[in-house]
Structure 1
């Protein structure tokens, strides 16, 4: 019997002095809320190996959905405000892999 190994998705929210400083982003992995992240914070989420769908939500807005392959190492992501205000349907939030 083999054990399924666990790695982490480590999400860093870029500190922003003006936009949405008081708002927490809800973090979803595979369409299930796994936590919240505030301005300037880093969140470490334990996940199993395989493809994970990551997305952020706040009020009525969502980020892009990012598919990441977690295999034998941690995955580092970055998120934040895309710099403007877009209502109903735009990607006000961004989510991307860190280099």
Structure 2
């Protein structure tokens, strides 16, 4: 990895931003997550687009850092209901 990063400065900058984001999310560190957006010089256009998308959902992402709640169990229940409805499609009644 170090050899590839030494070849291309854009790849190195993108790699550093990506790993900073991953580390901030892994450690649930909101301050480092925000700091990553200030050090984006020389990154790839794809990463710029990704960061733009993350900025658009800034408030929602902040909530995931600050609160331990998730809608995962509710989404799982909805998925089960939809699976039952698909399995029962075409029958006159249950």
TM-score by length of 2: 0.24
Q: Which has the higher helix share?
A: 2
Which of the two has higher C-alpha Rg? 2
Q: Which has the higher strand share?
A: 1
